[in-house]
Amino acid sequence: MRAPLQQIETSGELPQSADAVVIGGGIVGVFAAYYLARRGLKVALVEKGRIGAEQSSRNWGWCRQQNRDARELPMATRSLDLWEHFAAESGEDTGFRRCGLLYLSNDEAELAGWARWRDFARTAGVTTHMLDSAEASERGRGTGRSWKGGVFSPTDGTADPSRAAPAVARAILALGGTVHQNCAARGIETEGGRLSGVVTEHGTIRTKMAVMAGGAWASSFCHQFGFRFPQASVRSSILSVSPGAEGLPDALHTARISATRRGDGGYTLAISGRGRVDVTPQQLRFSAQFVPMFLKRWRSLAPGGLQGMRSGHETLRRWQLDRPTPMERMRILDPSPDQATIRLTHARALELLPALRQTRISAAWAGYIDSTPDGVPAIGEIYGVPGFFLAAGFSGHGFGIGPGAGHLVADLVTGSEPIVDATSYDPRRFDASAWGKVADF
Ligand SMILES: Cc1cc2nc3c(=O)[nH]c(=O)nc-3n(C[C@H](O)[C@H](O)[C@H](O)COP(=O)(O)OP(=O)(O)OC[C@H]3O[C@@H](n4cnc5c(N)ncnc54)[C@H](O)[C@@H]3O)c2cc1C
């Protein structure tokens, strides 16, 4: 019962050299490779498993500005335009639609927080509508109850996680780039201190530019050459139901449950923010740096088990470049969903949205959400290894901002004007503590 995902055929033989190599075929890696290929670079993307098979197919599909932290809002706004442009310029369908997102609440403090965000968003030119009780109850009529208030963000939307990353990978191929599945990058080579190649399980690609967009695997990869990237993941469990429920909002958030209409007419159901923390060596290594984040989020987190140890993505072990690595043993990080959360989510959804009683559970899955200490991604050149760039730690927001993040990576790699100010994403900020800097929403 994995998350649904389109399978795609990709390139055969690995090139001996490339202008740029992208490691990781999640939404961030595919968009980075796409924007590099559009600039005429010879690009090779290597993915240890299947394109999109980790976080990028396991999420809700929300592409939102609503409630974004100030450091991410400009990228979220640009990304919404890029989702639209991508469809127009490539002819590929990611399922993106500006359907608007609906937030409903009966909690005065929550409504006041949304109103404060609306005032801030205005200063950034972002439109969002606070709903009074009558408007919220009308928009939320599928719940059959009245609400104190809410928010509708008309310019936000959703894309289809089962189609988006494969669609972008096809567009890379159409531009002459190569995409290699079942091809793990084991490490990098340097010459005179600069990046000179990416070593994969199928051979080395000579290149002066590479991007590590490996999601939850980025820190253990960087650990191999001594770069400290504080990253920790949380296991989030969600489910989907079959088509059959009509009259519901396309994308609805409440404190108890969130529901998102899928491309096939079914719904993805989840409890926002809820997750389990599976202890790993990496979690322990960076635990002090994550205290501010933990203090902000602990109410939604619960202790997990030993799955994270077994899957190997947060190992502190150093591996050899001529032997199989943990990435080849775990082609697709596919943690087991927490069954208690799945049952609770389903029960709450049926109670809140009676139309869902016409449907049945079609799948349930979990994903490891990779986070940084401040909840903002790391995007930038890795100091000490010129030519090697990091784009990871998307902290539960990376699907929606994938196009903007990929574009920014391509800007940095090619030395072009960045699409947004990159300062807030600089990986060097992790040398300081995250106290007072954890993203609000
Ligand atoms: C349950 C859930 C709900 C979410 N909801 C949303 C949402 O609604 N909106 C939103 O914006 N975000 C959401 N997110 C977060 C979002 O899915 C992620 O932030 C985003 O997909 C991260 O993309 P990525 O490309 O960085 O990583 P991933 O999608 O995890 O991709 C990384 C890829 O790199 C590959 N890889 C790793 N190491 C190597 C290597 N050495 N060699 C080759 N390949 C390698 C992996 O196999 C993987 O395919 C959610 C996440 C989850 C789990």
pLDDT at residue 226 tops 90: yes
Ligand 1 contacts CB of residue 58 (under 6 A) = yes
Ligand 1 contacts CB of residue 59 (under 6 A) = yes
**pLDDT (0 to 100) of residue 440:** 78
**pLDDT (0 to 100) of residue 441:** 65
How many Å separate Cα 403 from the centre of its chain? 11
- Condensed to tens digits (0 to 9), the pLDDT of residues 336-362 reads 999 999 999 999 999 999 999 999 999
Nearest CA to ligand 1 atom 1: 59
**pLDDT (0 to 100) of residue 2:** 80
pLDDT at residue 430 tops 80: yes
Ligand 1 contacts CB of residue 47 (under 6 A) = yes
Q: Is 230 in contact with 289 (CB distance < 8 Å)?
A: yes
Longest Cα–Cα distance in the chain:
67
DSSP 8-state code for residue 125: T
Pocket test residue of 47, 55, 314, 334 for ligand 1, highest count of atoms within 8 A of CB: 55
Atom from ligand 1 closest to the CA of residue 61: 8
Ligand 1 contacts CB of residue 29 (under 6 A) = yes
Selection from 96, 69, 66, 68 nearest residue 82 by Cα: 96
pLDDT at residue 18 tops 90: yes
Ligand 1 contacts CB of residue 56 (under 6 A) = yes
Nearest CA to ligand 1 atom 22: 398
**pLDDT (0 to 100) of residue 100:** 97
- Condensed to tens digits (0 to 9), the pLDDT of residues 265-304 reads 999 999 999 999 999 999 999 999 999 999 999 889 999 9
115: CB partners within 8 A, 6+ apart = 130
Q: What is the mean pLDDT of residues 192-200?
A: 97
Categorize the per-residue pLDDT at 56 as very low, low, confident or very high, splitting at 50, 70 and 90: very high
What letters, b where the CB count within 10 A reaches 16 and e where it falls short, cover 386-419? ebbbbbbbbbbbbbbbbbbbbbbbbbbbeeeebb
Averaged pLDDT of the chain: 96
Atom from ligand 1 closest to the CA of residue 30: 25
Strands 178-180 and 101-105, bridge-based pairing: unpaired
DSSP 8-state code for residue 4: P
Atom from ligand 1 closest to the CA of residue 332: 47
Question: How far does the centroid of ligand 1 lie from the alpha carbon of residue 358, in Å?
Answer: 31
Ligand 1 contacts CB of residue 214 (under 6 A) = yes
Selection from 183, 178, 211, 181 nearest residue 195 by Cα: 211
Residue 155 corresponds to which amino acid? Answer: T
What gap in Å lies between CA 127 and CA 134, rounded to an integer?
20
**% of the chain exceeding 90 in pLDDT:** 96
Helix (H) or strand (E) run with residue 329 in it? helix 326-329
Altogether, the residues listed in the chain come to a count of 441
Ligand 1 contacts CB of residue 201 (under 6 A) = no
Q: Residue written as tokens 């592409």?
A: 63
Ligand 1 contacts CB of residue 54 (under 6 A) = yes
What gap in Å lies between CA 84 and CA 90, rounded to an integer?
10
First to last CA, the chain: 30
Pocket test residue of 22, 34, 56 for ligand 1, highest count of atoms within 8 A of CB: 56
Nearest CA to ligand 1 atom 19: 398
Ligand 1 contacts CB of residue 397 (under 6 A) = yes
Ligand 1 contacts CB of residue 49 (under 6 A) = yes
Q: Is 389 in contact with 25 (CB distance < 8 Å)?
A: no
pLDDT at residue 1 tops 80: no
Q: For residues 266 and 12, which has the higher predicted lDDT (pLDDT)?
A: 266
> Of 2-11, 147-156, 196-205, 238-247, which range is least confident?
2-11
Question: How far does the centroid of ligand 1 lie from the alpha carbon of residue 215, in Å?
Answer: 5
